[in-house]
Structure formats: structure tokens, C-alpha cells
Amino acid sequence: QGGNNAGHTVVVDGKEYDFHLFPSGIINPKAISFIAQLKSYLPLYLLTGLKDWEKRLIISDRAHIVFDFHQAVDGLQEVQRQAQEGKNIGTTKKGIGPTYSSKAARTGLRICDLLSDFDEFSSRFKNLAQQYKSMFPTLEIDVEGQLKKLKGYAEKIRPMVRDGVYFMYEALHGSPKKILVEGANAALLDIDFGTYPFVTSSNCTVGGVCTGLGVPPQHVGDVYGVVKAYTTRVGIGAFPTEQINEIGDLLQSRGHEWGVTTGRKRRCGWLDLVILKYAHMINGFTALALTKLDILDVLDEIKIGVAYKLGGKRIPYFP
């Protein structure tokens, strides 16, 4: 979920892969990878170093397309926020927010639009581009150049595109399969339940499995929460256990804490059990996968955030 704003680093057989849009399972030659109806950034074929990946990738016909002007607008909006409010959200400038805005305004374009009547697609693309140009007068869009590129992408991805809902229905009801849904971002970056407005534009809690894939709730089985042995955050927003000192520096350097997508240093601090419990309230974890415990090896003392106080009193919830 989300889009090419998230970065997952995967190391297999000593080789490192950085994924932004592809499911990590694309490395496994026995796995079928599926990009569902959230967002698709089209230059997929740029992927190198993997054999026959296009034979095991399926793209939902309902996936929204992130256009170049969405990415440009993302950057312009951040500049605007900085100028008006003195602070920005700290987005990855990958066009995710503007694409979700188009989706919610019902002016977005999906893979099914690209692959059907191209004249109709071109007309809607031009209208969308014009809307953004009227909002951001400095925005330059090479409409004809973009359309030519998009037509080329359409033919490259056509063999990979399927009806996503029917694909998932068959996967759930056909011969027994193991289905792993890979989430990106984090519970505290969820558009509804995160530290709004310093969040992403999608639901990165377990509910995203149902809304993103069209999977009925009764099919959601085990839910694994992945949590580091300390807390990190990219970009601005509340962070009560943050250590702006040598502890924070140590966690940052030993843990190689910088964003895969942006290269920005992650802010680091002690493990915050209040937000972990909060994430569990929303997601109902079956189990927790605790990572990076070895980063704490060199510390004589480890601290953990156990409660929040509001008006001098302990509170039993995440405010």
C-alpha cells in the first residue's frame, strides 16, 4: 500500500535489493507478486538484476497511476507549506499525496483507463494536467511527451494486468496457497490513526488489507507487527522518546538509520511501548517480530517509554 514512497531493503544470498514499489517477494522465483489497487508508478521495467520478474508480477487494473506532475506538485506543496506555516510534512516527494487527492476527487486515472480507449485516457489526462496547472501556475507539464511515454508503458505492462478482485478471489478460494500481504510505512503513519498531519496518505494498518486488496475481513489470518528494539522516525512529528544526544547518534549510526527512499537520517530514540500498545489496539497483532536488538548491545543501560502523562496524570491511551 502507499506507492513508491516506501523503501524496503532486502538482503538475499548476500545481495542487497532496495524495493520501492515491488513486493519483496519478487525475488522468490516461486512466488507470484501482486500490486493491488493503490498505486502504480509506471517505469516498472527499469528493474534490473532479477530474471523473468515480469512473468511473476501481476498488476491490478484498478491501481491508480502516479504521474510525473503528481511528483512535481508534491514538491511544490512542501515548499508552500514551508513558506506559509514555517514547516513541511517531510514527504518523499514521490507524488503520493497528490495522487490520493486525485483519487478522492474522482479525477484520478487507473491502469484500466490507460489500457482501454487511449483517446479517452488522453482527454482525461489533459483535464487533470490543466487542473494542476491552474492551481500551480509555475508548474510545467509536457503533456504530449507524457502521453507518448504512457502509451509505450501501456504496451509493456499490458500482459501483466489482471482484474485484481477476481485474482484475489481465485487465490483465496482455489487450490490452497500461502498469501502474504506486505505493508509499508507504519501504524503511526496511517492517514486516520497516525500522528496527523505528519502521516502518509494511505491506511497502513491491517484494515488496508481489506480495502487495498478486496479481501473480506474473515480471510485475514495472522497479523505480524514488525517493531524495532528502539523507535525511529523519518521527517517531523511528535516523538516523546527521541534522543537528541549521543544515544540518538549511536542508534542512528549503528542501526544504519536513513530512509531508503530519501536518504534522510532517521530520528532515533528509546522504544516507546505506548505507541506499540496503540498499534496493537488497532491491528490486533498475533505476534511481534522484534528487530535490531543487536544495535543495543554496546549500551550498559536501556530505557523504555512506559506511559504518557497529560496534565500531570498518567493516561491509559495514546492521545
CB 177 within 8 A of CB 171: yes
Clarify whether 103 is annotated catalytic: yes
> Is residue 201 a contact partner of residue 97, using CB atoms and an 8 Å limit?
yes
Name the phi and psi angles at 139, rounded to 5: -70, 130
Query: What are the φ and ψ backbone dihedral angles of 300, each rounded to 5 degrees?
Result: -75, -35
Integer Cα distance of 11 and 17 in angstroms: 6
Rounded CA separation 74/94 (Å):
7
- Dihedral pair phi/psi, residue 146, rounded to 5°: -65, -45
User: Which candidate, 182, 206, 213, places its Cα nearest to that of 279?
Assistant: 206
Across-strand partners of 233? Answer: 267
Set 39, 103, 156, 277: catalytic member:
103
CA distances in angstroms from 314 to 87, 247, 295, 309, listed in the order given: 30, 26, 30, 4
How many helices (DSSP H) and strands (DSSP E) are in the chain? 9, 14
Q: Which residues are catalytic?
A: 103
